[in-house]
Amino acid sequence: MRYAEPRSNSSSTLSAMAICSHPAMTMVLHKTQFLLLAALLIPTIVCAADFTGRVVGVIDGDTIEVLHNQRPERIRLSGIDCPEKGQAYGQKAKNAVADLAFRKEVTVKTHGKDKYNRTLADVFLPDGMNLNQELVKQGWCWWYRKYASGDTVLEGLERDAREAKKGMWVDPQPVPPWEWRKQRK
């Protein structure tokens, strides 16, 4: 490899030129440029995951389908767990979701995917109401501590619904869906 001749006879200038033109230094510069580009694009990618669409299906109390890019996308409402189909209050929870959201244009704030490849999200109704929170507030689902342990809003809404005996909380000991699922295995 040939280097440009230094203007001075100083060996430190020659060493600096050799270090800067070394292939490893070129890789570091490319890596730095890549990281800078990634840092600029990641917020765009994250924001692009949020979308609005019409609710075209209600699967159960905590799963809906929202039209996204002209296709139904299955959305699992994050931070909550509603009674299952076939479980006490399961149909009532599903009806509550349908009454609140079916055929409405909603905003979906995504949080990734679950193990069934459903999009995890908070869903906002046209009036700005958070559907996830409203279902807990009405007493149709549990705050899902396992996946939203730090969500103090859901925690408080569940506590208030229990105390007011709203929805399924009229039952003195409703069975949590995670226990019901375990019993069915």
As annotated, the active-site residues are 76, 84, 118
Neighbours of 105 (CB within 10 A): 13
Q: Residue 21: CA atoms inside 13 Å, Cβ hemisphere, count? A: 10
CB 79 within 8 A of CB 154: yes
What is d(CA 42, CA 165) in angstroms, rounded to the nearest whole number?
44
| Cα distance between the two ends of the chain | 69
Measured CA to CA, the distance from residue 135 to residue 139 in angstroms comes to: 6
Report CA Rg, the chain. Answer: 27
